[in-house]
Chain A
Amino acid sequence: MGSATSRKFLLLGPLLLFLGLAYVVPFLGVVRWSFTLPETGFGQYIAVFTDPLVQSVFVRTLRICLIVTAASLITAYAIAYVWVRGSSVQRALAEFCILVPFWISVLTRAFGWLAMLSNRGLINTWLQSAGIISEPLALARNEFGVIVGMTHFLIPFAVFPIASAMRSIDERVLLAARGMGSSRSRTFWTVFLPLTYGGLIGAALIVFVFALGFFVTPAILGGGRSVMVAELVYLRIFQSPDWGLGAAISVVLVLFIAILLALLRRFIKPAHMVG
């Protein structure tokens, strides 16, 4: 059936060809840059692993990503629980609060946090007019602002896999635990929570991987003082041109994520990601 193969390719081919030419081939070009700019060799990779500035950016990025992942998981768990198991009014309110920010652009949301946190923003204006503080608190343009803005961006992405895991819990298991005399909180900690570990791991993975490559929110809320690895790539391309280093950092990032995904492969359930 030669014609069946050709018809199969007619449907599958265009997208595979498109991404092959517009994504995979150019990525190989970036890999080439990392070995050839400014000179041929492994120099840029040695720089990635030894340069103190690059090292400090990597350490800061990992620290911020871990804090943001933990904060997103805890907050997402609370609102996901209400979204899945609340009364119908509670469910609708939770869905609204999750979906509206999800659909609003990352720039608008970062600006919203500037309006909240900056020196003349909502929080400092209120605290000052209430006489609680005399000088504005430094809430934005630092690492705190970056963590708040990134957590805000990533909560919906954590909610979807967690909510999906919560929905697939068999109600009878919880009733059985209660029927055998387990208290509400004990049922939660020993039955409900362990049944959602799969969703939590999926959520942690999504949030962590997204956070690692984050660019816009740290650039705006960090104000250049709390540079993360993605912003470093941008700076190496456009401000102090060192394309080779930017390319090498990109390749290292991709390898890091590939290893992470390979290690955690058995926890990834594609169905949970879609929510």
Chain B
Amino acid sequence: MQSSRPGPVLLILATAVALFLLMPLVAVIPVSFTPARFLSMPSGNLSLRHYQALLDNPAWLQSILLSLRIGIVSSILATALATMFGLGIWMFQPRFSALLIGFVLLPLIVPPVVSAMTLYFLMTTLSSFNNWIGYDTWLGVALAHAVMITPFAVVLILVSLFQVDRRIDLAARGLGANLATRAFKVIIPNIKFGIATAALLSFVLSWEEIGVTLFITSVNAITLPRLMWMGLRDNIDPSIAAISVLLILVTAAILALRIIIDRRKATDPQ
């Protein structure tokens, strides 16, 4: 429709917004090659010393491994809980569906700092009972992340469930399938891409989580964002630029993976 195509004024404005969105991500790249020990644009000489610093300091690798472990555990927990909940809502259509969904979305609506405070209370309380799950432990962080990322998984799984044709479930029921057969043989195969997307997003959200992590860790459970935070607060460490460049590349790779999943979904006959 030619009449509603963006005009020149709008295109100029949108281009400015696009530059605004991308500029800070691009600006990280030259900073990561600065030869100086402080945040600066390199003038002339380029250096790989900040990438070398990532390899030399074992704290970076340790925190990456810890973040991977926490991300895997919390995303599996969140995706499993969200899938069961979504199936329950879709199959039984309980009377207070809207209220139940609103309830499980609470960690998404409540300001992050309040969630952080709440989980800080939970972790310090748990720590008074045991040494495994609690303040400054990796299982404690995984549990807290699961609380924070479950609402996102629920939204994605419900969206894909609402695209499923109810008649296939009615047919399965009519043919005498029990609850488990309906869930595992009929419904889940139809939302497997939704579940995969939910698991992927859950992992990324846990991998990047900092607001809550800051409240519930101190010296033992140092995730990657926690370590970056330490290098960002006071004297800015240009190693942060090097790790940021790597993270931007990883994010781009994950986005590409997602696009491939979406493509396969588009070509896969439902």
One of A13-21, A41-49, A50-58 at the interface: A13-21
- Which B residue's beta carbon lies closest to that of A109? B24
Known A27-B114, A109-B24; further 19 A-B contacts with Cβ < 8 A = A11-B84, A12-B84, A15-B81, A16-B100, A18-B81, A30-B117, A76-B17, A103-B255, A104-B247, A105-B207, A105-B225, A108-B244, A111-B232, A111-B241, A184-B3, A192-B4, A215-B116, A229-B113, A237-B215
One of B26-34, B45-53, B58-66, B188-196 at the interface: B26-34
| Range class of the A interface residue count | 35 or more
Tell me whether A22 is interfacial, beta carbon within 8 Å.
yes
Task: Report yes or no: B214 in contact with A234, Cβ–Cβ below 8 A.
Answer: yes
Complex A-B, nearest 5 residue pairs according to Cβ-Cβ distance, in ascending order: A213-B111, A112-B24, A11-B88, A230-B113, A12-B88
Tell me whether A75 is interfacial, beta carbon within 8 Å.
yes
How long is the Cα–Cα vector from A116 to B244 in the complex, in angstroms?
A: 14
Chain B residues, Cβ within 8 Å of A107 = 208, 210, 225, 228-229, 232, 244
With beta carbons under 8 angstroms apart, the residue of A15, A76, A82, A105 that contacts B85 is: A15
Tell me whether A130 is interfacial, beta carbon within 8 Å.
no
Tell me whether B39 is interfacial, beta carbon within 8 Å.
yes
Number of A-B contacts (CB under 8 A): 268
Task: Report yes or no: A14 in contact with B27, Cβ–Cβ below 8 A.
Answer: no
List, sorted by A's number, 20 A–B pairs whose CB atoms are closer than 8 Å: A7-B179, A12-B89, A16-B103, A18-B81, A100-B255, A101-B21, A101-B22, A105-B247, A111-B241, A112-B23, A114-B39, A116-B23, A120-B38, A120-B39, A171-B4, A213-B111, A215-B211, A216-B210, A237-B117, A274-B159
Task: Report yes or no: A11 in contact with B119, Cβ–Cβ below 8 A.
Answer: no
Task: Report yes or no: B204 in contact with A115, Cβ–Cβ below 8 A.
Answer: no
List A residues 220-275 near B (Cβ within 8 Å).
220, 229-230, 233-234, 237, 246-247, 250, 253-254, 257, 261, 274
Given A14-B85, A106-B210: A113 and B111 interface contact (C-beta under 8 Å): no
How long is the Cα–Cα vector from A146 to B152 in the complex, in angstroms?
A: 26
Determine the main DSSP class of A at the interface with B: helix
Chain A residues, Cβ within 8 Å of B214 = 215, 234
The interface centre, meaning the residue of A16, A93, A105, A219 with most chain B CB atoms within 10 A of its CB, is: A105
Tell me whether B41 is interfacial, beta carbon within 8 Å.
yes
With beta carbons under 8 angstroms apart, the residue of B18, B107, B204, B254 that contacts A23 is: B107
The interface centre, meaning the residue of B6, B240, B251 with most chain A CB atoms within 10 A of its CB, is: B6
Tell me whether B260 is interfacial, beta carbon within 8 Å.
no
Tell me whether A180 is interfacial, beta carbon within 8 Å.
no
Tell me whether A66 is interfacial, beta carbon within 8 Å.
no
With beta carbons under 8 angstroms apart, the residue of B21, B215, B244 that contacts A155 is: B21
Task: Report yes or no: A27 in contact with B232, Cβ–Cβ below 8 A.
Answer: no
Tell me whether A150 is interfacial, beta carbon within 8 Å.
no
Tell me whether A174 is interfacial, beta carbon within 8 Å.
yes
With beta carbons under 8 angstroms apart, the residue of A22, A78, A109, A257 that contacts B111 is: A257
With beta carbons under 8 angstroms apart, the residue of A19, A113, A175 that contacts B1 is: A175
